[in-house]
Every structure is written in structure tokens, then in C-alpha cells.
Amino acid sequence: MNEAALAIASPFWGIDDLVAELRAIRLHSLEERHRREHPPKLPARKVLAQIVEQLGAVLFPNRLGRPDLTDEGIDYFVGQTLDSLLRDLSRQIALELQFVAEQNGETIDVWRRASELTREFAAKLPGVRLLIDSDIRAAYEGDPAARCPDEVLACYPGITAVIHHRVAHLLYGLGLPLVARIVSEIAHSATGIDIHPGARIADSFFIDHGTGVVIGETAIIGRRVRLYQAVTLGAKRFAKDENGLLVKGNARHPIVEDDVVIYAGATILGRITIGRGSTIGGNVWLTHSVPPGSQVSQAQVRSEMYESGAGI
């Protein structure tokens, strides 16, 4: 036996001991959460990634579907793919419903409810396609480097992130925050764009370049808004209850009205409003509302801070 084979076959990794130690830690963790007998299964990230990829092919079969599709075969492909992905999605929804029911000590007909929610999701897909079409148009019209809408759909990370968000937001609205969050995190990993599925984003939304963009759960974004890389729409502070625990779900992220442009590196925090038609310059740190038509630059913000005695 050569040296490489000996290394592979070597008993000195201590595998048996490692397996035993990891099992003990795992069981202790399950016991602490009272789950040792029946640890709940969670929706699978890999399966949901495949579902979103298939959804892209269903919504845009000529561009994201199979390369050998003919005009006569498109509808068959869309129908067959939809049937398969919706079955898979229903199973993932059922896993979330079962997980939540066990957490809350409830008993529900998981499979019936999962089937109902999947039907609701499917019925809204034409509206999702229309929204994504508006996002693609906004990207093409807003970027002089874009040579055609097909290039935008195939290449732009901002569009990849927005497609995932449109799907995730739909799932979030159906009361499936775990499945929705996994879908959004798949896009976050692939693009560096972090959009919480709870964020409400109107049509014709464009993220140019994209890396480092963060959009919080309660953000509201109007029509025809354009963001550049490293923009943050975040929370200024996190409220706590009388027990010192973070309050969940309160409105804490910005409202960005229609036709706003926010340039690279801008940080906008808190439940403030950026008025319609405003332009926020690069690297601005903004924690107060601005009226419609505002032009906010880094120099202006610094001037306000020094005049009022802050930031010195």
C-alpha cells in the first residue's frame, strides 16, 4: 500500500471518538430544547435554491429555461416544471408549518394547509412576472452600459437579488417567514445584496452593481427607485421590552418615496422618510427625514452636524 493509501486508511484520525463527542453535544443541545425524541426538520436550502431556479425558468422560459425549447414546446415545459416545483415547494412549506406547530404546541393539518398556501402562491406568479419585467426595464433604462434587457436578466446581480426578493416577499406575505428568509439568503450569498423578505418594494426597482446593499425588514420603497452599491436602509436603534428583550416587528427602517436615487455608500437609518424625487449622495449618513425634491450631499450633512454641535 502506497503512502497516500495508508493516509486514507489510517486509524489515527480518532474518528470514532469524534463521532461520539459530536453525538453527545448534539443530544445535549436537543435535550435543552426538549427535542431529543423528535427533532424537527427544517426546510432545505438546497431544495429551495432549485425551486427558485426553476421558477426563473418558468417565468422566463426563453432566457432562463432549457436552450432547446421551441415555440410549440414552451407551454408544455412551463406546465411540467411548474407542477414539479410546486410539489417540492408544498413539501418545504409543510416542513415550516410543522416546525412552527411543534414550537407552539399546536395541532394542524399540515399537508392540507401547505397545499392551500402553495395554490395561493402559484396564483400570484403572473403578478410577480409583471413586477420583474418592470425591474428589468428600470435596469436597462437606468444603466448606459446595458446593451439589451436580456443582458440585464442574464447578468445583473441586482436583478438576481430582486427576483429572489419578489418570490421571498410573496412567501413572507403568506405567513411563511422561514422559507422566505432562506430564499432571500440564497440571493444574499450569491450577490452580496441583503434584502429582508419583509421589505415592501414597488415596481421598477433597480440596484446598480449591488454588492453590500442592505434593506431591512420594515423598509418601504416606492416606484422607480434606484440604489447603488453599499447602500444601507437600516434601523437606528433596537427597542427593548420590559424584560430587556428586543421588540420584534416594529417599524424601524426608512420609507423611500417614488423616484428617489441613492448613491453608493449612503447609510439611511431609522423610520424616516426620503421624499419623492430626492437624490441622496454617496457616503451620506442620514438619520432624519428630508422633503420631496431634496438634494443631500455628504458636505451638507457634515455642515448640519457641526453647526448643531454634533460630531465634534
Q: What pLDDT digit, counting tens, does each position of 110-157 carry?
A: 999 999 999 999 999 999 999 999 999 999 999 999 999 999 999 999
The segment(s) of the chain belonging to CATH 1.10.3130.10 are 41-192
- CATH code of 199-312, in short, is 2.160.10.10
List of long-range contacts for 254-260, beta carbons under 8 Å, 24+ apart: 254/219, 254/220, 255/219, 255/220, 256/219, 256/220, 256/221, 256/222, 256/225, 257/222, 257/292, 258/202, 258/222, 258/223, 258/224, 258/225, 259/222, 259/223, 259/224, 259/225, 260/222, 260/225, 260/226
* Percent of the chain with pLDDT strictly greater than 70: 89
The segment(s) of the chain belonging to CATH 2.160.10.10 are 199-312
* 144-174 pLDDT tens trace: 999 999 999 999 999 999 999 999 999 999 9
Identify the residue whose cell numbers are 428568509.
181
Query: Measuring CA to CA, which residue among 49, 60, 50 is closest to residue 133?
Result: 60
CATH topology of domain 41-192: serine acetyltransferase, domain 1 (1.10.3130)
Give the mean pLDDT of the chain: 90
What H or E segment, with its residue span, contains residue 214? Answer: strand 214-215
Of 7-16, 18-27, 165-174, 177-186, the poorest mean pLDDT is in: 7-16
* Sign, Cα dihedral of 253, 255, 259, 263: negative
Q: What is the pLDDT, as a whole number, of residue 312?
A: 39
The grid coordinates of residue 192 equal 452580496
Q: What distance in Å separates the CA atoms of residue 169 and residue 267, rounded to the nearest whole number?
A: 23
Q: If pLDDT is split at 50, 70 and 90, which confidence band does 104 have?
A: confident
* 241-283 pLDDT tens trace: 777 777 777 899 999 999 999 999 999 999 999 999 999 999 9
List of residues 6+ apart from 226 with CB closer than 8 A = 138, 142, 205, 206, 207, 208, 260, 261, 262
59: pLDDT strictly greater than 70:
yes
* 201-217 pLDDT tens trace: 999 999 999 999 999 99
Q: What is the pTM of this model?
A: 0.85
Q: What is the pLDDT, as a whole number, of residue 27?
A: 85
* 67-94 pLDDT tens trace: 888 888 899 999 999 999 999 999 999 9
